[in-house]
């Protein structure tokens, strides 16, 4: 299916805004909103705590695990339902065991998103932190990674793609270096649903965390944590309850198998239903086609921005090395003022940062159009 010139904006609720902040929270298709409403009506009709409610909800949970398993190429029981990307990161940061000789390897320190930075820095009392030096786009040398690894390395924790420059890190190559000998965690919040098909077995990661409300076009409060079945033994759950463990005498507990081991309490059932509907919607177009559309829109936006003399562009020049994130600044202008002025004109962008440098971030998704990109350029030229 050729999505490049296809306008699918009618599949989303009516809006007079040009929405280009999908790297933060994306729009939801109308069908997903309808699916959530239908679920709530059905759930109440059945009776939320009736005999028939449990199989009804269980089926919904199984369905979303199956569809997530398809898009990242894993087993359904390796998909843990969370509330956010941050949840999954903390599962790993707080679940691994460390000693005074151990170390973990991260990238870029303050160049990294807070969610994939703060949890590791908090571990400095338990373990040493090795920080890979980076270039202006956030990339590091694979040789540096290899030189950092030693017998006491307990984890390598990286983002798959960067929230500020859009750079896509070479996780497949990193996985080959680690070769399942050192646990490998990936924050994939900026890639799943955005850069095409994914296969965790090829990446060779042990853990991966992402959410449903960015590129998957699902509702807020939905997150996914991939945990390799064997690797689950490396993590002690942060929370425990009747859903995640069993007691086999008065004082001893045993954890259940995946995914129950990491899930306590109720899940966001209505959000999960909306997420499943959104993923079905995306898969109908094909993840590769979505990637092509995203690249087309971001390349167009970047190319037209480059023609404006006062524009400073950030991120890799090679489109294959970045997501659809386009980060830029206007010389002599405050980024927040620019974003505020554009929002008053119904164009939604975001202010983010590259270290201490504030930037303007646009992040088009496949439902955006060529016409919208050109309208944004026209408005920026008139600022």
Structure tokens at 213: 């409300």
* pLDDT value of position 63: 97
Confidence (pLDDT) at 378: 98
CA–CA separation, 349 vs 300, rounded Å? Answer: 16
Q: What is the mean pLDDT of each run of 10 residues along the chain (383 residues)?
A: 85 96 98 98 95 94 97 98 97 95 96 97 95 98 98 98 98 97 98 96 97 98 97 95 88 92 92 98 97 98 97 97 98 97 98 97 97 98 92
Q: Which of 84, 146, 149, 144 is nearest to 108 (CA)?
A: 144
- Distances from the Cα of 19 to the Cαs of 27, 30, 345, 349, in angstroms? 8, 16, 11, 7
DSSP string, 294-331: HHHHHHHHHHHHHTSTTEEEES-SSGGGB-S-EEEEET
Element (H, E) at 68: helix 53-72
The beta strand positions in 62-200, using DSSP E, are 79-82, 103-107, 128-132, 153-159, 184-187
Please, what are the domains in the chain? 9-20+286-381 (3.90.1150.10), 31-284 (3.40.640.10)
Q: List, edge to edge, every strand of the sheet that includes 223-227.
A: 79-82, 223-227, 207-211, 184-187, 153-159, 103-107, 128-132
- DSSP-derived secondary structure letter, 276: H
C-alpha torsion 310→314→319→321, nearest 10? 170
Q: Where are the beta strands (DSSP E) in the chain?
A: 18-19, 79-82, 103-107, 128-132, 153-159, 184-187, 207-211, 223-227, 245-247, 253-255, 311-314, 326-330, 347-348, 350-354, 357-362
* Distance between CA atoms of residues 337 and 351, nearest Å: 10
Q: How far is it, in rounded angstroms, from Cα 349 to Cα 52?
A: 45
What pLDDT score was predicted for residue 251? 82
- The rounded distance, in Å, linking the Cα atoms of 186 and 115 is 12
Report the candidate in 100, 108, 116, 115 with the shortest Cα–Cα distance to residue 134. Answer: 108
Task: Record the tokens describing residue 360, joined without a space.
Answer: 């303007």
Q: How buried is residue 14: exposed, middle or buried, by Cβ count under 10 Å (0-12/13-18/19+)?
A: exposed
Q: Where are the alpha helices (DSSP H) in 169-286?
A: 171-178, 200-203, 269-285
Distance CA 188, CA 74 (A): 15
Task: Record the tokens describing residue 3, joined without a space.
Answer: 């999505």
First to last CA, the chain: 37
* Max intra-chain CA distance, the chain: 73
Q: Is the peptide bond before 23 cis (omega within 30 degrees of 0)?
A: no
């Amino acid at each position: 299916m050729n999505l490049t010139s296809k306008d699918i904006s009618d599949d989303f609720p009516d809006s007079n805004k040009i929405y280009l902040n999908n790297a933060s929270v994306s729009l939801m298709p109308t069908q997903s909103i309808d699916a959530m409403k239908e679920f709530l009506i059905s759930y109440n009709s059945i009776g939320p705590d009736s005999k028939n409610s449990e199989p009804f909800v269980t089926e919904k949970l199984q369905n979303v695990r199956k569809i997530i398993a398809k898009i990242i190429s894993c087993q359904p029981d390796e998909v843990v339902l969370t509330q956010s990307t941050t949840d999954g990161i903390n599962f790993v940061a707080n679940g691994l065991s460390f000693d005074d000789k151990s170390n973990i390897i991260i990238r870029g320190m303050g160049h990294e998103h807070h969610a994939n930075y703060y949890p590791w820095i908090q571990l400095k009392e338990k373990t040493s932190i090795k920080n890979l030096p980076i270039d202006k786009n956030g990339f590091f040398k694979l040789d540096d990674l290899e030189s950092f690894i030693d017998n006491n390395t307990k984890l390598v924790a990286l983002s798959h793609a960067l929230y500020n420059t859009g750079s896509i890190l070479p996780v497949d190559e990193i996985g080959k270096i680690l070769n399942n000998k050192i646990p490998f965690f990936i924050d994939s919040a900026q890639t799943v649903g955005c850069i095409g098909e994914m296969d965790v077995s090829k990446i060779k990661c042990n853990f991966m965390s992402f959410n449903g409300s960015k590129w998957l076009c699902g509702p807020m409060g939905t997150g996914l944590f991939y945990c390799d079945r064997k690797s689950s033994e490396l993590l002690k759950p942060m929370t425990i309850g009747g859903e995640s463990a069993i007691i086999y005498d008065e004082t001893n507990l045993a954890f259940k198998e995946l995914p129950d081991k990491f899930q306590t309490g109720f899940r966001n059932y209505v959000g999960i239903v909306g997420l499943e509907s959104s993923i079905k919607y995306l898969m109908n177009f094909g993840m590769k086609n979505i990637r092509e559309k995203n690249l087309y829109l971001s390349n167009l936006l970047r190319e037209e921005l480059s023609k404006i003399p006062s524009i400073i562009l950030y991120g890799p020049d090679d489109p294959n090395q970045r997501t659809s994130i386009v980060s830029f600044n206007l010389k002599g202008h405050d980024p927040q003022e620019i974003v505020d002025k554009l929002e008053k004109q119904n164009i939604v962008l975001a202010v983010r940062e590259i270290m201490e440098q504030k930037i303007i971030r646009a992040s088009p998704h496949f439902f955006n159009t060529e016409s919208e990109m050109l309208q944004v350029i026209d408005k920026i030229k008139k600022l």
